[in-house]
Amino acid sequence: MKVKEKIIFIAPSRSSFIVNDIKILSEKYEVIENIYNWKNKPMTPLLMIQQLFFLLRYGFSVDTIMISFGGYWAYFPSMFGAIFQKKVLIIVHGTDCAAFEEIQYGVLRKPILKKIISASFKMADMLLPVSESLVNTENTYFKDEPIKLGYNHHLKNIQTPHTVIPNGISISQWNINLDGAREKNSFITVLSPGQLRTKGINLILDIADKFPQATFYFAGIDNPFNYEVPSNTCFLGRLSQKKLENLYNQTEYYLQLSNFEGFGIALCEAMLCGCIPIGSNVNKIPEIIGDTGFILEKRDPELLVTLLGEAMSEKYKREKGEKARKRIMDNFSLESRKQKIFDTIDKLSSK
């Protein structure tokens, strides 16, 4: 039996997409995980020291170190790789590429963390953004004057090569129920606490009462008490994967009106379940939606009212939902991401 090559995988959490990457790597490698609770900020110096001892224990037995997100957890592994000639790849997701002051988004707004990420990116052998827009982009959606974003804009002299590898969605986990009925004129948005401004929820709440015949569902958070909430909005809190899948299958439309979005995993999940996507003209969202849904070009309530009216008048909703599912299956499957990750590691290893 062939012994698997070892690889170290470092991440700040066990988010679903991080768990998926670990599963992908485990098919070919023996994965040595290094995941601490980096959200506990006072513990950061201690965690960095703990991570350094981890690297001294396991780092010499591997050829490759893969890191998810730029952050404090990326600094010592990148330095270790540079000193001891280990291949280092950093997966870039979004918040590590932005300093979006208007919505208080992006860790590059923090001077010390910005320096840490910049140094890590420079020491790495390859950066793996999930979207080309994370390298360099202009946001023309949020306001009339374009906002420049991306790590090439915020960080100077990053010469590290990059390969775009989009996130992959597990097709088998998100199924479409072709026999079930969907609630007419129903919309769903998924977000986490603290993402109200990032996900553009205020824009939806501003226009919801103009559509009394519609219902707007928000999964992932409870009622945002700082906002006046229209009567046709429902805040469902955190849902299990199965309950969320069922809700997608009961809803006609998915709203992704983000002001910044590294990729849009929930958007892909909803499309796999047959929701018609409605998204903002931001980052990779238009590419994910393609011709299967609707794009809001500007963050403007009047434009959104017009767009939702157009969407609700769509005659072939079922066909459009099935087309949305097929687009994700064809372009953003977990299998596709797996192959691109393996190819990238193999090419680096052969150098």
For 270, other C-beta atoms within 10 Å of its C-beta total 31
What local confidence, expressed as pLDDT, does residue 201 receive?
A: 92
- Average pLDDT, integer, range 318-331: 95
Domain containing 214 equals: 171-331
pLDDT at 18 over 80: yes
Encoded amino acid at 297, one letter: E
Note whether 100 and 13 are same-domain residues: yes
pLDDT at 163 over 70: yes
What local confidence, expressed as pLDDT, does residue 43 receive?
A: 94
What are the DSSP calls for 156-210, one per residue?
S-----B------B-GGGS---SSS--EEEEEEEE--TT-TTTTTHHHHHHHGGG
Q: Residue 316 — pLDDT band, cuts 50, 70, 90?
A: confident
Note whether 144 and 20 are same-domain residues: yes
Note whether 53 and 142 are same-domain residues: yes
Q: In angstroms, rounded to a whole number, what is the distance separating the alpha carbons of residues 348 and 342?
A: 10
Note whether 18 and 66 are same-domain residues: yes
For 96, the enclosing helix (H) or strand (E) is none
Q: To 10 degrees, the CA torsion angle through 82, 84, 87, 92?
A: -40
CATH number at residue 285: 3.40.50.2000
Note whether 157 and 199 are same-domain residues: no
What local confidence, expressed as pLDDT, does residue 226 receive?
A: 74
Q: Residue 1 — pLDDT band, cuts 50, 70, 90?
A: low
What local confidence, expressed as pLDDT, does residue 133 receive?
A: 96
Note whether 314 and 275 are same-domain residues: yes
Query: Rounded to two decimals, what is the model's pTM?
Result: 0.93
pLDDT at 227 over 90: no
Note whether 297 and 320 are same-domain residues: yes
Note whether 117 and 28 are same-domain residues: yes
Residues 6 or more apart whose CB falls under 8 angstroms from that of 226 comprise none
Q: What digits encode the pLDDT tens for the residues 177-205?
A: 988 899 999 999 999 988 888 999 999 99
Q: What digits encode the pLDDT tens for the residues 263-273?
A: 999 999 999 99
Note whether 73 and 192 are same-domain residues: no
Q: What digits encode the pLDDT tens for the residues 332-346?
A: 999 999 999 999 999
Note whether 242 and 201 are same-domain residues: yes
> Interhelix angle for 334-349 vs 16-26, to 10°?
60
Note whether 202 and 76 are same-domain residues: no
Q: In angstroms, rounded to a whole number, what is the distance separating the alpha carbons of residues 196 and 349?
A: 42
Q: What digits encode the pLDDT tens for the residues 33-80?
A: 999 999 888 999 999 999 999 999 999 999 999 999 999 999 999 999
Q: Looking at residue 105, what DSSP letter applies? A: B
Residues 6 or more apart whose CB falls under 8 angstroms from that of 171 comprise 272, 328, 329, 333, 334
- Name the 3-class secondary structure at 63: coil
Burial of residue 21 (CB within 10 Å: 0-12, 13-18, 19+) is buried
- Work out the mean pLDDT of the chain and round it to a whole number: 94
For 318, other C-beta atoms within 10 Å of its C-beta total 13
Q: Regarding predicted confidence, which is higher, 256 or 316?
A: 256
Find, among 212, 194, 137, 183, the residue nearest to 275 by Cα: 183
What local confidence, expressed as pLDDT, does residue 284 receive?
A: 94
Provide the β-strand partners of residue 235.
218
Note whether 264 and 238 are same-domain residues: yes
- Average pLDDT, integer, range 293-322: 94
- Looking at the 3D structure of the chain, how many domains does it have? 2
